[in-house]
Structure 1
Amino acid sequence: MAIPQGANQRWSLDFLSDAFADGRRFRILAVVDDFTRECLALVADTSLSGLRVTRELDVIIAWRGRPAMCLSDNGTELTGMAVLRFSQERQIEWHYIAPGKPTQNAFIESFNARLRDELLNETLFTSLAQARAVLAAWKDDYNNARPHSALGNLTPTEYAKRNALGPQRDGTLRYAEGSAPRPVASPSPLGSYSTGTLSIAG
């Protein structure tokens, strides 16, 4: 599978499990942009159905835009009708990794390992509200405060800003906060052609 070359080209999804101090289990839905490495969501609840997954993805899409593809394993929550209907209606390609091949979802597997080592294994959770608050704080720190070696020692948020496309005054596209060279040819002035076709002399 090709490595994404821009934000929102591919989001990876996965579930993690943990337990409260009293032994009750809860789950976490993690969503990561494979290009920027941004953590887009950490959703904790005692139950996370396919319908709930699609609702959470719609929340992300509302502020970030629609991904071209989602990548996940073959868990029952992610292979049901709710996800199938969501991907068709939103025109999002959904790719499932081969069973027993977590390395095919390497970006989020690496993210999950960091989340488990730095937070889940070190925290005694007492309630769902506490788990959500702690996860939100960790997500904010991960995205905005920690440099990532694979991103040239930028934070995921900084890397996303550097690679975001934005318009220049002359109408051409540039990388926001980046150093991409200006186009060789300037855009033609408005009204230079009376029609949209180009006539060839001769």
Structure 2
Amino acid sequence: MCIERDRPKISLRRQCQMLSLPRSILYYQPKGESAENLRFMKLIDKQFLETPWYGSRQMARYMQRQGHECGRHRVRRLMRLMRLVPIYQTPNTSKKHPQHKIYPYLLRKLTIDRSNQVWCVDITYIPMHRGFLYLVAIMDWHSRKVLSWRLSNSMEADFCVEALNEAIAKYGKPKIMNSDQGSQFTGFEWTQALKDADVEISMDGKGRWVDNRMIERLWRSLKYECIYLNAFENGSETRAGIGKWMAYYNAERPHSTHGILTPDEAYDRKTEPMRSAA
């Protein structure tokens, strides 16, 4: 007779691997932060959109002036958890893996005048009523079109690679992909995916958020126009809400850079022909 309790337990992550399912389908599981910390994180995130030069010391002062008992050590931990780095370079704001290669910034003095010439990628913190998620998006630099995006409850690189593969499958490949120096984008899984697709790798200088400013502006618009206007309860609601806003952003919301053209229209207007794989 088979005794069920003698069978080894298999984690949900392992089950996903066995079924060839992406781990990001588990995005709806809440993180283990207290309700107070979740409230503080939302306040910090909102203020950081207004004052992106605030480090943990200045942010702690802001929180205390607002009447919140939130010291610098807690603020620093929460900002690191949310992947918030001040616009000026500070020591030890994020520790890179010692074996990860940092690639040069390739966009300096480069004229970007067509779609699929340069793509950019970034990750941001998304608050929910209970818990939070991480959102990665891949954007075409010229048109500002969001090519793909994914939600995850962890900062592992797999959900970033999934978004990259989807974007390449739908739109071809760019000449250059630009990112920050976060471990998700310096690690083997991400960089190898770009090398396999024959895409040049560009990375911002340390502490230079302005090098990837296009997608930073996307986060600001998304949070003010969607996230903070809706108290999403869970991952399913968050995913549906973000999906609706992304569709509106691409197809209906004209971008100032292109006058009355939407990102979809600007992308289709001047696209670099897809190159064959190496």
TM-score of the superposed pair, with normalisation by structure 1: 0.76
- Once the two structures are superposed, residues 128-156 of structure 1 have per-residue CA deviations (whole angstroms, 9 ceiling, x without a partner) of 11111111100110011111221021111
**Partner residue, 2:7:** none
Which residue, 161, 164, 178 being the options, matches 1:71? 178
1:10 aligns with 2:118: yes
Give the superposition deviation at 1:158.
Answer: 1.4
- Once the two structures are superposed, residues 64-92 of structure 1 have per-residue CA deviations (whole angstroms, 9 ceiling, x without a partner) of 10111111111111111101211221111
Query: Following the alignment from structure 2 to structure 1, what is the Cα–Cα distance between the partners of residues 173 and 143?
Result: 15
Query: Following the alignment from structure 2 to structure 1, what is the Cα–Cα distance between the partners of residues 135 and 164?
Result: 14
Query: Following the alignment from structure 2 to structure 1, what is the Cα–Cα distance between the partners of residues 271 and 132?
Result: 39
* Count of matched residue positions in the alignment of Structure 1 and Structure 2: 165
**Partner residue, 1:151:** 258
Secondary structure in structure 2 of the residue aligned to 1:41: strand
Unaligned runs of 5+ in 2: 1-107, 274-278
Which residue, 159, 162, 165 being the options, matches 1:52? 159
Which residue, 20, 45, 52 being the options, matches 2:128? 20
1:85–1:164: structure 2 CA closer, same or farther, 3 Å change rule? Answer: closer
- Once the two structures are superposed, residues 51-74 of structure 1 have per-residue CA deviations (whole angstroms, 9 ceiling, x without a partner) of 321122111111110111111111
Give the superposition deviation at 1:106.
Answer: 1.4
Secondary structure in structure 2 of the residue aligned to 1:8: coil
Which residue, 169, 186, 192 being the options, matches 1:85? 192
Give the superposition deviation at 1:163.
Answer: 2.2
- Once the two structures are superposed, residues 103-136 of structure 1 have per-residue CA deviations (whole angstroms, 9 ceiling, x without a partner) of 1111111111111211122221211111111111
**Residue 19 of structure 1 aligns to which amino acid in structure 2?**
P
Query: Following the alignment from structure 1 to structure 2, what is the Cα–Cα distance between the partners of residues 78 and 157?
Result: 26
Query: Following the alignment from structure 1 to structure 2, what is the Cα–Cα distance between the partners of residues 54 and 68?
Result: 17
Asked if 2 retains the 8 angstrom alpha-carbon contact of 1:9 and 1:67, the reply is: yes
Bigger share in strand: 1
Give the superposition deviation at 1:48.
Answer: 4.1
Query: Following the alignment from structure 2 to structure 1, what is the Cα–Cα distance between the partners of residues 271 and 137?
Result: 23
Asked if 2 retains the 8 angstrom alpha-carbon contact of 1:44 and 1:131, the reply is: no
Asked if 2 retains the 8 angstrom alpha-carbon contact of 1:71 and 1:97, the reply is: yes
Over the residues paired in the alignment, what is the CA RMSD in angstroms? 1.6
1:94 aligns with 2:201: yes
Asked if 2 retains the 8 angstrom alpha-carbon contact of 1:42 and 1:135, the reply is: no
Following TM superposition, the consecutive aligned residue runs of length 4 or more in structure 1 with deviations greater than 3 angstroms are: none
**Residue 84 of structure 1 aligns to which amino acid in structure 2?**
T
1:112 aligns with 2:215: no
**Partner residue, 1:30:** 137
Greater RCO (Cα-Cα under 8 Å, separation 6 or more): 2
- Once the two structures are superposed, residues 14-57 of structure 1 have per-residue CA deviations (whole angstroms, 9 ceiling, x without a partner) of 111022212x2211002110011101123112124223211221
TM-score of the superposed pair, with normalisation by structure 2: 0.56
Asked if 1 retains the 8 angstrom alpha-carbon contact of 2:115 and 2:272, the reply is: no
- Once the two structures are superposed, residues 141-188 of structure 1 have per-residue CA deviations (whole angstroms, 9 ceiling, x without a partner) of 00111112210211111122222479xxxxxxxxxxxxxxxxxxxxxx
Bigger Rg, structure 1 or 2: 1
Unaligned runs of 5+ in 1: 167-202
Secondary structure in structure 1 of the residue aligned to 2:160: helix
Secondary structure in structure 2 of the residue aligned to 1:122: coil
